[in-house]
Amino acid sequence: MKLGVNIDHVATLRQARYAFSLDAPNVEPDLLAAASACERVGAHGITIHLRADRRHIQDRDVERLRASINTKLNLEMGNTPEILDVALCVLPEEVCLVPENRAEVTTEGGLDAAGQLKFLTPTISRLQKSGIRVSLFIEPDPVQLQAARQLGAEMVELHTGAFANATGAARDREVERLITAAEQAHQLGIQVNAGHGINYQNIALIRTIPHLAELNIGHSIISRAIFVGLERATAEMLAAMG
């Protein structure tokens, strides 16, 4: 498995003080330094989410990261014309299309690809024609996986939030759902990624899911970094992934 480190919350910390003074000489923390720290210890990519409300990542962050990182940039985005224009200008290696609710604290669930075929088709086509690989952030649901296949997405990112929040028998059921979905995606010829709520404790169960190519993890790594530093936090997650 490969690791994409989501550094949105490095920007969250910066915005807490410098949201209206990003040109100040003492702006910190620096996203480029964060990305570099992750890459130095083996992260395979950097993930960021450019939200419509710009609560953390800003347009110029996308541009600077695209120009400076040595691995790959995975841009998470809602299906909106404005954000699509940014993606087509910056040309990240990958785009992950996600649902977006301005009132949410973090992404609350998977994209309804099956219910949005008409709206997603032209977006995916434009991204792919520009050489960008497309992933859909979806629930581990057979209907959504069939929709991903119909849309021609190269990848799906299985939403692991329900698994991360469950305990006991409920968690076991979520693991089974993820295993079944991963098997189905593999049979459909779609790369299987996963993300949301994965941490240093539940990673052991995530490892039981077959065919996983990449995990995108942010909050847990950034939280751990407060105590041990970003390089060590990233290295520890890579080690836990096996």
Percentage of the chain beyond pLDDT 90 is: 95
User: pLDDT at residue 129 above 60?
Assistant: yes
Is 49 noted as a catalytic residue in this protein? yes
pLDDT digits (tens, 9 = 90+) for 26-46: 999 999 999 999 999 999 999
User: pLDDT at residue 103 above 80?
Assistant: no
Q: Mean pLDDT for the chain?
A: 96
pLDDT digits (tens, 9 = 90+) for 170-199: 999 999 999 999 999 999 999 999 999 999
Catalytically annotated residue among 49, 56, 94, 139: 49
DSSP H stretches of helix in 46-106:
59-68, 81-90
Catalytically annotated residue among 76, 157, 174, 214: 76
Q: CATH: 3.10.580.20, 3.20.20.70, 2.60.260.20, 3.40.50.1820. Which one for 2-241?
A: 3.20.20.70
DSSP letters of 178-230?
A: HHHHHHHHHHTT-EEEEESS--TTTHHHHTTSTTEEEEEE-HHHHHHHHHH-H
Indicate the SS3 state at residue 14.
Answer: helix
- Alpha-carbon distances, residue 209 vs 83, 124, 175 (angstroms): 32, 27, 8
Task: Please check whether residue 158 is in contact with residue 182, taking contact to mean a CB–CB distance below 8 angstroms.
Answer: yes
User: pLDDT at residue 127 above 70?
Assistant: yes
Domain boundaries, the chain: 2-241
Continuous segment of H or E residues that includes residue 124: helix 117-129
Catalytically annotated residue among 9, 44, 159, 196: 196
